Amino acid sequence: MTIEKRQDELWIPDNEDGSGWAAVDWTSVARGRRYFYRHAESDTEARRIRPSWYRVVTRLDTPLVHAPHENSYYVTGDELADFLAEVILAGGNEVLWRIEPVTAPPVEAVPGESDSST
């Protein structure tokens, strides 16, 4: 017979506001480090306050290209998780290098916004 515990019995936060630090125990790369947790906004509020756009920089460094390359992709906040999954699963030699919020993508990054593609 299994006895289910209440949610508040499973986790005891460090701070009264529900935040704190905990050991990373689910990934081999960061195991032994700690991550910070906190109570977060509702999904609607979180989507409203997060950046609208991100620049995702990947790096391609292989003998098949004459020089290392960094590629910048501009994706919306709503597309970010799916885009990262695609790069991780299908990027081949192209690896994630950094992710940074941007106010807006350059006009060249949005089809139809620039004449350079014609």
> Can you give the pLDDT at residue 114?
56
Residue 48 DSSP SS3: helix
Separation between Cα atoms, residue 116 and residue 111, nearest integer Å: 10
> Can you give the pLDDT at residue 117?
47
> Can you give the pLDDT at residue 118?
47
What is the CATH architecture assignment of 50-106? Answer: Roll (3.10)
Q: What is the DSSP string of 103-117?
A: SS--GGGSTTS-GGG
Residues of the chain with CATH 3.10.20: 50-106
Could you give the angle at the alpha carbon of 80 between the alpha carbons of 78 and 82, nearest 5°? 95
pLDDT (tens digit per residue) in 22-55:
888 887 888 889 999 999 999 999 999 999 999 9
> Can you give the pLDDT at residue 79?
97
Taking 50 as the pLDDT cut, the residues of the chain under it are: 117-118
